[in-house]
């Protein structure tokens, strides 16, 4: 099937904005840097990359008659906040399993930011003591069973909407959208930098470019601090998505393991420095979990020349700003 043949419910405004980061480019003195702003892609609870993925899962949930969206993530999960937003938009119930993925001491960490927005959106959150992991968890399965036994019809959405048969389609569509924007702006991006954790964002890009016959260097920046798991997830989801699009992958999976700061959800000084630089040159707000780490990678790769000065590089901003509220001690 072609991408256009897969049902989706539009939940975004349209193409996410694409613009040059001129002051950051001048500061780094290397490759020309642009951004594509998934943080501005939707009116649903501050948008972000998860909304783009959920367009396809939402269509499937409605088509199969489900009445409750069920998902899982950390306490400050951008994904679970997005699931809550989509459920509210579609008039569905929502139950979220919020695991303690991050050992972070801020006293309001489990009360503000994404978890606060999920409450406002009407979702029910269950807090579970369990470490970071992108696999299927017992607590998640228990919620699905309880809803079944109560006569409901749950729709299971894994962490990050990633390890789902349709999880890569949103960013396959992103790839097609980007190629159209490039043609309109008469520009071509040699390198794309994107945060990677549960895998389907980077994987969808790879499958989407393959379906278009486009060759791109997509650098995934590991933010999980479990790069072997992330790399395996990207490869698995990319191949599965390519099969849905009746194509085969052409670009290798590149995952840079140098910027995860040693733990999921915990920033180091390089992360915080990158966040400050992006904010003070471009008023571009990044978060400590994902975008601060991918921004740290971009800054280092451009300033050291690992990304050549002749390149035009695209920074993919995936959203996540609400989580900043849980990091008041360092930001």
> Closest Cα partner for 194 from 213, 161, 165, 216?
216
Report in angstroms the alpha-carbon separations of 319 from 42, 82, 260, 263: 11, 11, 17, 20
What is the number of alpha carbons within 13 Å of residue 317 lying toward its C-beta?
28
162 is catalytic: no
CB 182: neighbour CB atoms within 10 A? 16
Give Cα separations from 175 to 114, 169, 298, 316 (angstroms): 27, 10, 20, 11
How far is the C-alpha of 120 from the C-alpha of 259, rounded, in Å?
33
In the set 16, 42, 71, 77, the catalytic residue is 77
| 97 touches 68 (CB < 8 A) | no
Q: Which residue has the tokens 């571009």?
A: 284
Catalytic positions are: 77
């Amino acid at each position: 099937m072609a991408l256009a043949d897969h049902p989706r419910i539009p939940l975004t405004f349209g193409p996410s904005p694409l613009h040059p980061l001129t002051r950051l480019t001048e500061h780094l003195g290397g490759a020309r840097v642009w951004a594509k702003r998934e943080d501005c892609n939707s009116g649903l609870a501050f948008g972000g990359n998860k909304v783009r993925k959920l367009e396809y899962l939402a269509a499937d949930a409605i088509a199969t008659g489900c009445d409750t969206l069920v998902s899982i993530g950390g306490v400050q999960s951008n994904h679970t906040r997005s699931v809550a937003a989509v459920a509210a938009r579609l008039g569905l119930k929502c139950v979220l399993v919020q695991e303690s993925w991050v050992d972070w001491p801020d006293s309001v960490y489990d009360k503000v930011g994404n978890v606060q927005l999920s409450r406002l959106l009407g979702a029910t959150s269950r807090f579970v003591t369990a470490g970071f992991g992108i696999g299927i968890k017992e607590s998640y399965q228990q919620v699905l069973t309880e809803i079944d036994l109560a006569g409901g019809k749950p729709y299971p959405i894994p962490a990050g909407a990633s390890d789902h048969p349709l999880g890569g389609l949103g960013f396959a569509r992103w790839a097609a959208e980007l190629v159209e924007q490039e043609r309109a702006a008469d520009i071509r991006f040699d390198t794309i930098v994107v945060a990677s954790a549960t895998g389907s964002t980077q994987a969808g890009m790879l499958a989407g470019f393959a379906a278009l016959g486009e060759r791109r260097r997509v650098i995934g920046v590991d933010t999980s601090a479990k790069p072997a798991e992330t790399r395996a997830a990207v490869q698995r989801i990319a191949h599965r998505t390519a099969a849905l699009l009746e194509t085969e992958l052409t670009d290798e999976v590149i995952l840079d393991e140098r910027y995860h700061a040693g733990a999921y959800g915990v920033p180091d000084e390089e992360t915080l420095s990158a966040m400050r630089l992006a904010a003070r040159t471009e008023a571009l707000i990044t978060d400590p979990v994902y975008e601060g780490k991918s921004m740290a990678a971009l800054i280092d790769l451009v300033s050291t020349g690992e990304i050549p000065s002749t390149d035009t590089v695209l920074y993919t901003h995936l959203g996540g700003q609400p989580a900043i509220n849980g990091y008041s001690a360092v930001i």
